[in-house]
Amino acid sequence: MNPPLAAVTGGTGFLGAHLVPALARAGFRLRLLARRPPAHPALAGLSFETVPGALENEEALSRLVRGADVVVHAAGLIKARNRASFLRGNMEGTACLARLTQHLAPQARFLLISSLAAREPGLSDYGFSKHAAEAAARQSFGDAPERLAILRPPAIYGPWDRETLALFKASLRPVAPLPGRGRAAVIHARDAAGAIAAMAGERFRPGCFTLADDTPEGYEMRALMMAAARATGGHPYLPTLPGALVLAAGFFSGLAGKVSRAPPIFTLGKAREILHPDWSVPMEELLPREIYRPRISLAAGFAETVAWYRRAGWLKESRHG
């Protein structure tokens, strides 16, 4: 009897670098959607089938899902020029993939990797598009809700991540201004991947769940920066920026992106997300611990991530250590 087949989107991105190995360890055969032949070092030595194509290619998506036992949709845009572009990448791609799964793999489980930002769709175009993607998946599986699960990770960090790298670089500066005083849950990429792999298999449970590390109530911004500084050896002064200044910076960053035609990650919408006071995870939203229990604490995860960044040459050594 063949092992179960997992069809995966987003397998060549940051989360995918941790997810694909986790699925392989869980005993899945793997079929990955990829625009170009996967060459990520984290995938070296793994056996998988590659389907060339992208989310807008219906023929490629059909080849991806046909005969799959589970479809793990982890691909998505995290930056785009406007709401329409976000919706094309996140909502329309999800709708097409879910519809084809229903048609070509009618017994397959469908696992949508969304975002905690979907909880507050009014803050940003990104959050709006992720919320719309969840709605599209629910509509597609309206007759079979027992086959659909949605996971909302908070901020994910770990080796290979270039977005959170900015936090660690800031911790090495003499002054590291804090954008607000809110609380935010986080999770190490290996724990996020482990939770997804657990849900993809026999512990699958339909519904919408949120991921977090062993502190789902989250961390204040100051605590996150201090944890980063302990990991890097930095000693920054941590003033808090006025919210209006953060919003203005996001506005002008987004405006510069429109002029340069290169969408930035930091926009007015992202500034609103950062200033949102509560990205904690209530217990009733959390993925049940009997399905997956996170293993990596913030201190251990930050220390590991900093060590990896330095081995990779992405982060300099502290002048103090």
pLDDT in the model for residue 93: 95
Across the chain, mean pLDDT equals 94
CATH class of 5-158+184-217+279-296: alpha beta
pLDDT in the model for residue 262: 77
Q: What percent of the chain has pLDDT over 70?
A: 99
How do residues 19-46 score in pLDDT, each as one tens digit? 999 999 999 999 999 988 888 899 988 9
Residue 205 burial class via C-beta count within 10 angstroms: exposed 0-12, middle 13-18, buried 19 and up: middle
pLDDT in the model for residue 286: 97
Instruction: Give domain limits for the chain.
Output: 5-158+184-217+279-296
Mean pLDDT of 115-130: 97
Q: Is 290 helix (H, G, I), strand (E, B) or coil?
A: coil
**Alpha-helical runs (H) found in 50-124:** 58-65, 83-86, 93-104
Q: Is pLDDT at 264 greater than 90 in this prediction?
A: no
pLDDT in the model for residue 320: 55
Q: Is 132 helix (H, G, I), strand (E, B) or coil?
A: helix
How do residues 136-159 score in pLDDT, each as one tens digit? 999 999 999 999 999 999 999 999
Half-sphere exposure of 214 (CA within 13 A, CB side): 9
pLDDT in the model for residue 81: 86
| CA dist 265 → 77, 106, 111, 151, 162 (Å) | 10, 37, 26, 22, 11
**What are the counts of helices (DSSP H) followed by strands (DSSP E) for the chain?**
11, 12
pLDDT in the model for residue 31: 97
The continuous run of DSSP H or E covering 5 comes out as strand 5-9
Which residues does 61 contact at the CB level (< 8 Å), separation at least 6?
33, 53, 55, 96, 97, 100
Mean pLDDT of 256-284: 88
Q: What percent of the chain has pLDDT over 90?
A: 86
